[in-house]
Structures are given as C-alpha cells and as structure tokens.
A and B are shown apart, each in its own frame.
Chain A
Amino acid sequence: MLNLVIVVAVVLILAILITIFRVSTLVGIVRGNTTKQVSPANKIQASLMIVFLVLGIIGFFYFSFGGLDESYVQPLASEHGAVTDRLFWITMAITCFVFIVTQILLFGFSYKYQHREDRKAFYYPHNNTLEYIWTGIPAVVLALLIISGWKAWVDITQKAPDDSEVIEVLGYQYSWAVRYGGADGKIGDYDYKKTDASNVAGMDLTDRSTHDDFFGRELHVPKGKPVLLNIRARDVIHSVYSPHFRLQMNAVPGMPTRFWFVPTKSTADLRIETGNPDFNFELVCNKICGKGHFGMKYIIVVDEPEDYAKWYAEQEPWLKQNPEYLSEVPADLRDAAMIAAGIETIPAAQAVDNLVVRNSR
C-alpha cells in the first residue's frame, strides 16, 4: 500500500513538474525572449562559473590540508618510500600549481569574456611563440620529473643486496603463504604439481633446502635490514601491496617476481607513532583475484633485529609439523631431513654449526 502511495506521489510530482516546464516554455516563447541569441541566462552562467571556481578552490585547499577528519597519508615505514614520497610531493606541488592556475584562467576567462552586445571577440588565430613556450616549459618540467623518477626507479628495482633476508610470499585464493629458509637460510625448490592442501607452496621435498623451511603465521621482517620478497602466485594474479612500505609487486602464476625494501620502523615504533596500541602493518592483495579479493590480509610484523632472530629460531620447520611428507623425501636424504626438520634431536655440535651458518650470512 505504502509503495503504491509512493508511486502515485512520484507520478503526480513528475506530472506537475512537466506542466510547470511546459507553461514556462510557452510563456517564454510568448515573451519572445527565446528568439534572442543570448538570453539573460548567459550572465547567470558566467557568474556561476566564478562561484564554482571560488568554492571549488576553497574546498580543495580546505579538504587537502587538514579539513578531512582522517589523514590520507599513511605513515611511512620504508627506506625507498621516503624517496618515492618526496617525488610524490614534488609532483604534487607542481601539479597543484598548474591545476589552480589553469582552472582560474579557464573559469576566469569564461566570466570575464562573457557575451556583451557591444563587444566583438578578438580575432587571434595563432601565435607560434606562445605555442613554443607552452610546449617547451612542460617539456622541461617533465624532463626533470622523468630524471628524478628514473633514478628512484633504478635504485628501487636494482638487484637486492646480498645480505638481504629472503622470504617467499605466495598468493593464492584467498590468502598468502609466507615461507622462510629455516636454519640453512635457503628457501627450497617448488614444483606446482606437488601442491596439495597441506603443502600449500608445492615444496619439492627432493630438494634438501626445503626440509628446514618454515611458514610464518605473520610476515615477520627485521627492522633496518634489506628484505627481499620472492613473490609467486598459485592460481591467478594477485598483488603484494602494503601502503605503509610503499611496496607493490604483482604475484603472477608461472612467473616469479621480486621486490626488496628496507623497513625503517618496527611495529612497536608505529604503535607509538600512531598512538594506536593495536596498530599492525598489513599485506594487502591489490589485483582483482576473485570473490575473496577484498579479504586477502596478512599481518606484517617488523621486529627489532634481535627479536626477529629470536622469533626465527623458534619457528618449527614445516616438515616437522607434517612428518607424513617424509615419504616424499628420497630415501638417501631422509635421515638428514629428519635432523634438518628437527624431528630427530640434533647432535649439539651440528646445531651450533647451523647457527654459525645462519649468523654468518
């Protein structure tokens, strides 16, 4: 019933509006104002241009500089991010300047040169000097942007330092798996055909480097050290993205990618900086990957290096948690695998060896 009333009301309102419209058009025609080339409305439009310009610029500055309830700049926590942020703000300064000036000219001219019966427009078909100027200046400014951007890009994409902490990040519908090299610090091989419900990363257990590999429940990284993410995807394209680190790289099935960065602030640091005791860095999927795309979250924990080493040492190799996979390990490697995975107690001497290997990297 209510719906019916609403429908009837809408129809009535529309009918009334249309009638008003028709009457006003007819009145206009009778008055003859529609035959003039420029109606009085011209002036109103010109004035509205100025109103729009002024309100627009006020709104732009107000909301861009603190008028919003929340900050739109995420706290920064990586080394290269400082460089890209600087480039971002330089570009912002240049574009804001151009933006404001051109909009003022556009709407200002529109207002100033609105139609007047007593004036004739200025016949001004071209001026090559002007064209050269405004081809040249943007070209120079852009060249500067390109050069600084190019330098930053080359630095960011260059080969990771040798002492980087290497971590494998695997994207799949709809989560991430994060694999560490374990005691030997080496991430083992994979073969996608070996993937199953437990072996999410398709570890190839014939490679002995896999035996001590472990998975992190969060992505732990040490503060102040270069971290190299080896990125892959299992099913469709995903993207490893984390706004606080200004970090992004697609995860592509069949084509491993990488991204390295140096975290500059620990999770604890940021908890203080943001005043939010529950603050966490997050790993976000940023390439459409299906129904659960918006839920592919993984916590990133930046530890002080000591805490990181401690955490690292405490992790259990995957093989230890899944001893049934020992059957996939070739017979001649099985004993070593059991030791590497910590299934069998390790002779003390070898444990020390392992630590030495790790720490010396």
Chain B
Amino acid sequence: MSENGDMGHHDEHDHDHEQSFISKYIFSTDHKIIAKQFLITGIFWAIIGGALSVIFRLQLGFPDMDLEWLRPLLGKWITTSGKLDSEFYLALVTMHGTIMVFFVLTAGLSGTFSNFLIPLQIGARDMASGFMNMLSYWFFFLSSVIMFISLFLETGPAAGGWTVYPPLSALPQAIQGSAAGMTLWLVAMVFFIASTLLGGINYITTVINLRTEGMSFSRLPLTIWAFFITAVIGLLSFPVLFAAALLLVFDRSFGTSFYLSQIYIGGEALPNMGGSPILYQHLFWFLGHPEVYIVILPALGITSEIIATNSRKPIFGYRAMIGSMLAIAFLSFIVWAHHMFVTGMNPFLGSIFMFLTLIIAVPSAVKAFNYITTLWKGNIVFTPGMLFSIGLVSFFISGGLTGLFLGNSAVDINLHDTYFVVAHFHLVMGSASFFGLLAGVYHWFPKMFGRMMDEKLGYIHFWSTFVGVYLVFFPLHYIGIAGFPRRYYSFTSFDAFSTFADLNSFVSIAAILTFGAQFIFLFNFFYSIYRGRRAPANPWKSNTLEWTTPVNPGHGNWPGEIPKVYRWPYDYSKPGAEDDFIPQTVPYSATPESNTDYENELAKPEEVTPKVKAEDEA
C-alpha cells in the first residue's frame, strides 16, 4: 500500500504535454474532467433553481410584500402594483422543478459521480468511449443553454408544471408559457435525453467490460452498482419521455390530436378529436417514476460507500443492498400510475397500482434498516460527507414514510396535488438526493482537486442545511393534510385555506436562510480548489481503488499498471487485521491474520504480480 504514496509525486503526465487547453479542459475526453464539467454546470443550475424558489417562496410567505425591488431582474413580470405576476409564478415553479429534477439531480448527480467514480473504482483508464462521454456533456450543455435562454423569453418559460401536462402545455391560448417557452423546453429536453442516453450507454458498457482483474460484480462497490442500475433504468425509461415529448411536439406544431380532444378555448372550438390527455400522463410517468429512482439511487450508492467508510465497518447486507436496488429498479417500472389515481382512469387499474406501489416500499425499507445497522457498533468518524449521508438517511425515512399515505389510493384522493405531496417528494427525493450530491462532493473532493475542503465550514454548512431542510419541508405536511393545493399563487380567495399564513411565512424564512447557507458551501468549494489543504493519498482511509491513484491522477488514472483486485471493498475493522481497513488491492495471501477459512482457500491460488515500480508508458 505504502508505495502508492510516492506515486503522487510524478503525476504530472507526459501525456499532457501535447494537449492544448481546449482539448484538456473544454472538449476533454477524460472522464475526470467531464465529471467536473457536469459538477460545475450542476452547481450553476442549483443556484438558479434555488433562486427561483426563493422568489416564489416570497410570494407564498409574504403575499402582501411589495416586490417592486425585483423589477430590475424580472421586468414586466412584476405587475404595476408591485406584485409577482400570477402566470410567472407558475413559470417559476415549473422551471424550478425541471431544473432541480433533471439538470441538478439527474445530470449534476449521475453525470458527476458516474463519470468520476466508475473508471476510478472499477480500475479502468477511462470510460469505454471517451468521445461519447464528451458528447454526452456537450449535449447537456446545449440543453442547458436552450433552457436558460427560455427563461428570458417575452412570453416567459414553460409554465405548465414540471410534468407539462397537455392540453395546458400544448395550447399557447391556455397559458403564455406554452408558446415559445414550451417549444424551447421540449427542444432542451430532447438534447437532455440524448445526453442521458449517451452517458448511460457508456456507464453500462464500462462497468460490464472494463473492470480490472479480480473486480467481479460481487466485489463492486455499491456506488458502482447504484450507478450501473441507474443507467439501466435511464436507458429504458428516457426513450419513453422522448416519445411523449415528440407526440406533444406534433400536437403543438403539426395539428395532430394525440393528446387533444373536444377543446373549446379562447372563444373557439378546436378541431382536435379523439386524443387523450391521459395518454400523455401514462407516458410521462412511465419515465417519471423511474426518474425519481434515477435521482435517488446514485445518492444511495454514494451514501453506502461513505457510511461504510466512516463507520469503519462493512456496509451491512451488501447483497441485500444490491438485491433491494434491483427490486426497486424493476418495480419502479410498474408503479407509474400511482401519480394518476384521480385522473379518472379505471378504478381497477388504481387497485393494481396501489398494490404494486406499496410493494416498492419494502426494498426501500430494507435499505434504510441496513444503513442503520451499519452504524451500529461502528467507530464513527463524522466527516462532512458522513454527516450529509446520515442526513440523507434521515430524509429518506421521513419522506419515504409519507409515500405509504400517497400510495394508498383511497387516502390519496384527499392528498393528491396538495402540499403533502410536495413535502413527500422534497424530503425523499429532493433533499435526500441533494444531500447525496453534497456528501459525494465532500468525500471525493480530495480526489477531484487534490485538496481538502475545510471541515469546519462543512460542519456549519451541514447543520444549517439539515435543520433548514426540515424546517422548510416538515411543516408542509400540515398544510397538505389541511388540503392546501400545490401550484397556488395565493390562498386568499378560499376560506378553507385562509389559515396558516404564519406557517407559510415561517417556511419562506427558513427557505431563504437555507438557501443562504449554501453560499458557505460555494465559498468552501471554490476556495478549496485553489487554497485548500493538500490532500493525502487516502484521506478517509478507504478501501476502494480510486484512492490508489496518485493524489492528482492524470489521463489514464494510474501511472503504471492498473491495480488488481483481490477482495470486496468493505473490509473495514476486520478482526485480526492491524489497521481498520484493508484496501481492495491487498491480496488475501498478504493478510493471513485476518482471513476466514474460506478466504485462506482463496489465497492459495492467488497470483500476486509483484508491484512493479510504475513507469510511464510514454
């Protein structure tokens, strides 16, 4: 192991000298650079998405506030009386949802960590196709640019909710956002889907084909399992979104009637007959539900790795974790219509989907129990990454439990489209996977940038965000049970919702403070890239392969031969072993003191190639 330390010194690669700035940092095919590109773009989007939510939280928390001061930013979307325009309010929630779900938690999370960790943790020099990988980022970039431009359109960005249900999203007469804004939304999503598919194919091929010697599937870190399964889900579900979007494009621009039927709007009866808006919802949620797992599984994978490392214990139930992820992946394709219990679809379908939906809670529960048991009798080191992982588990439980209400179609009648749903998914998906993202950044920052992030700022960031998130989203359960509908610009016109004005102000204040706390992170992140303490080779004493690379790995990751793998990644605190961790590269034959009988058998035929001092192959 100790040889790895000095590899760090000659990490400035000979490969690099031919590369120009552009091919090294911009049109790079190096998975590490691409990962950073995804990360930075994701951070950019997170700031935008968060800022949008602050604006609409101002409206909800302080409906009487004079927002004249936002006019320089929002222009005509501030009405003459200094209020937020009610249509622009819908545009804000729509873009907030789209940005957070797709651009931050799909591209930002999977894009960053699948790219960064897959080659490093399976022992590959790069992705199977570096070029496709680069394309994947640039499609995402293009998609981002288009979506960003749509924010500034005269008629505003898409405003029909992040699920863009037609006919609302199909008819500019129905809402301004369905004019050019919606067109750009669809175009951006098409590029986004292309990006996801290119990335996904790459992740899958890489994991299957490029594992280093000894890295069998049963020795893969759970991160890789999670990224792998996520990519498979994405590959199967995103094309369906593409189909849904395409038909919507036809309805919008070419007069077809896939989703439109018997509509009278703007003083005019439209000719469309025979379409079904519900068809769109089926197609959308066929992606949409898997999508929520596309968002959470990578976060859970990251958490598994971080919790095991910092509890100094093997992850509890490695196989059960894989099994539950596979079960979730499978079930996630057959629960979609639980988003549609009250659309008027056949009640029998409702029964079936209630049944399937509640089944999916079982593997989710297994995962939560396994995390908790991993902590049990551990020797826990609270790095910021670890704190965020524990926070994730807490959110995943809190938010997952409310799924049991919503999955019960009879109970959902009164909860559908209320703030209860908003509370549910912001905890279980939004906050949980956002915490996974942050945990991952704190944990792998040393590998990404060769420096450490500041721990104290990390602690402050964690506690303010963790408490903040609960203060923002927990109260929403109450107003959800009271029936407050989501996507409401104001509640003043209804007697039933005339209550809880104070609660709404409280939530808004909490949201603004929590948003503010993210700037601690931003400062820490950018400051540490340039000025952070230099990272040691293996700062968290972790077992996985990425920590055997030089501190600043170059193109190709390992200067010499790719290390061989002899064991699973979770040999932490193994009885008999001197250290509390045994990296995957240590053969059983080198650890007779800690081997089980079975492992001693394995040790016999082991061919341990003597570690050659790494020579660059240039």
Contact = CB atoms under 8 A, between A and B. Distances in A.
Interface of A: 18, 21, 24-25, 29, 34, 37-39, 41-42, 44-46, 48-49, 52, 56, 60, 63-64, 68-74, 81, 83-84, 87-88, 91-92, 94-95, 98-99, 102-103, 105-107, 109-110, 113-116, 119-127, 130-131, 134-135, 138-139, 142, 145-146, 149-150, 152-154, 156-158, 172-173, 192-193, 195-197, 202, 231, 234-237, 239, 241, 243-244, 246-250, 252-258, 278-280, 282, 284-295, 297
A157 B347 CA distance: 6
Given A131-B317, A145-B404, A138 B417 contact: no
11 contacts: A63-B478, A71-B482, A98-B397, A116-B379, A123-B572, A142-B358, A149-B411, A244-B496, A247-B413, A258-B344, A288-B487
A95 B401 contact: yes
A122 B263 contact: no
B599 interface: no
A39 B455 contact: yes
Given A150-B354, A289-B168, A119 B379 contact: yes
B380 interface: yes
Contacts of A107: 390, 394
Contacts of A81: 414
Given A125-B318, A286-B417, A70 B372 contact: no
Contacts of B405: 88, 91-92, 95
A252 B277 contact: yes
Contact of B408 (A87, A127, A236, A285): A87
Given A99-B401, A149-B411, A134 B365 contact: yes
B168 A135 contact: no
A92 B316 CA distance: 29
A121 B261 contact: no
Contacts of A71: 482
Contacts of A49: 390
A284 B494 contact: yes
B195 to A, nearest CB: 27
A295 B342 CA distance: 21
B362 A297 contact: no
A73 B456 CA distance: 42
Contacts of A45: 382, 387, 459
Interface string B260-291: 11111101010001111110000000000000
A59 to B, nearest CB: 8
Given A153-B351, A234-B264, A293-B90, 12 more contacts: A120-B580, A125-B318, A126-B317, A126-B318, A127-B317, A150-B354, A150-B355, A158-B347, A172-B264, A252-B277, A252-B343, A253-B277
B9 interface: no
A32 B257 CA distance: 70
A34 B533 contact: yes
Q: 4 nearest interchain CB pairs?
A: A254-B261, A243-B483, A257-B344, A157-B347
B379 to A, nearest CB: 4
Given A130-B373, A146-B358, A250-B343, A121 B313 contact: yes
A192 B267 CA distance: 12
B362 A139 contact: yes
A124 B571 CA distance: 10
**Candidate in B263, B359, B411, B456 with the most chain A CB atoms within 10 angstroms:** B411
Contacts of B510: none
B411 A88 contact: yes
A40 B263 CA distance: 67
Nearest to B165: A237
A115 B379 contact: yes
Contacts of A42: 381-382
Given A149-B408, A280-B495, A295-B493, A103 B342 contact: no
B217 interface: no
Interface in B469-525: 470, 474-475, 478-479, 481-483, 485, 487-491, 493-496, 499-500, 502-503, 523
Nearest to B175: A290
A113 B381 CA distance: 9
A139 B87 CA distance: 44
A86 B259 CA distance: 37
A294 B493 contact: yes
Contacts of B455: 34, 39, 41
Contacts of B269: 192-193, 195
B167 A142 contact: no
A35 to B, nearest CB: 9
Contacts of A64: 478
Contacts of A119: 379
Nearest to B320: A131
**Candidate in A37, A92, A150 with the most chain B CB atoms within 10 angstroms:** A150
Nearest to A76: B414
B394 A138 contact: no
Contacts of B456: 24, 41
A341 B583 CA distance: 88
A234 B260 CA distance: 11
A91 B167 CA distance: 35
Nearest to B311: A121
B477 to A, nearest CB: 8
B410 interface: yes
Contacts of B402: 95
Nearest to B503: A68
A237 B405 CA distance: 24
A41 B459 contact: yes
B574 A113 contact: no
Nearest to B176: A291
B87 A291 contact: yes
Contacts of B344: 231, 249-250, 252, 255-258
